[in-house]
Copies of this chain bind each other. A is one copy, B any other.
Amino acid sequence: MANKAVILLSGGLDSATTLALARRDGFDCYCLSLDYGQRHRAELDAAAAIAQSLGAVAHRVLQLDLAAFGGSALTDPSLAVPTAPSTGIPITYVPARNTIMLSLALAWSEVLQAHDIFIGANAVDYSGYPDCRPAFIAAFERLANLATKAAVEGAPCHIHAPLIQMSKAQIIQQGQALGVDYGLTVSCYQADALGRACGQCDSCQLRRQGFAAAGIPDPTRYC
């Protein structure tokens, strides 16, 4: 019987590639998505389609109203999604999002008796979001190994962030080689209800540049 892993699956390009890597490594994959009030809700439909196409054992969507806290353009309709590059931490940053998502993955992994969690944090996000850096991932793994019944009983938890040092182009080339259908993924911060991308926001620009740099045709559906 294969080992189980919990995969954080947003519905975007990075987490789809992460799921494909976990499958390549032989894990039975339990995918977790968070409905946190994000304006680009089409990514949750995308997550379901990706989980199915890559042979996940299960896919669960947890609802959590992070919009109640405010403070991010991804959950606050009064804040515009930027279309020009900014310096510092972008307004699309969701407070403590990766901490929360890893915590939820940790809870499910403990119930499943899984000891591996995969997250698609990567080198591009690294530039702006504090919770995508290698030091953050390492600190969460240390925390996890003090937090759970399994760890106390001697079965440590591993947090895998296989994309963390990869460029967007490298991620796309990796996923292409593993058969990821990027036409199913939604990266746009303000995708419409059908999952069509704006082509303007930071995330769309990074994605488009990634396909160009990878030399792979961009399957994104634009509005």
A62–B64 CB distance below 8 A: yes
Q: Which residues of B contact A99 (CB under 8 A)?
A: 103, 106-107, 143-144, 147
Q: How far is the CA of A96 from the CA of B98 in the complex (A)?
A: 15
Chain A stretch 118-143: residues in CB contact (< 8 A) with chain B? 130-131, 133, 135-136, 139-140, 142-143
- Report yes or no: B107 in contact with A95, Cβ–Cβ below 8 A: yes
Q: How far is the CA of A148 from the CA of B97 in the complex (A)?
A: 9
A residues contacting the other copy or chain, number (CB 8 A) = 43
List the number of copies, as a whole number: 2
* B residues in contact with A95, CB < 8 Å: 106-108, 110-111, 148-149
Q: Mark A17-52, 1 if CB is under 8 A from B, else 0.
A: 000000000000000000000000000000000000
In angstroms, Cα B148 to Cα A103, docked, is 15
DSSP majority for the A interface? helix
Given A130-B152, A139-B142, A152-B130; A98-B147 close (CB under 8 Å)? yes
Interface residues of A (CB under 8 A from B): 60, 62-66, 68-71, 89, 93-100, 102-104, 106-108, 110-111, 130-131, 133, 135-136, 139-140, 142-144, 146-149, 151-152
Write out the residue numbers on chain B whose beta carbons fall within 8 Å of the beta carbon of A147: 96, 98-99, 130-131, 136, 139
A110 nearest in chain B by CB position: B95
Q: List 29 A-B contacts (CB under 8 A).
A: A62-B65, A63-B64, A64-B64, A70-B111, A71-B110, A71-B111, A89-B152, A94-B107, A95-B106, A95-B110, A95-B149, A96-B104, A96-B106, A96-B110, A96-B148, A97-B107, A98-B147, A99-B103, A99-B107, A99-B147, A130-B146, A130-B147, A130-B148, A130-B149, A130-B151, A131-B146, A133-B146, A139-B139, A139-B146
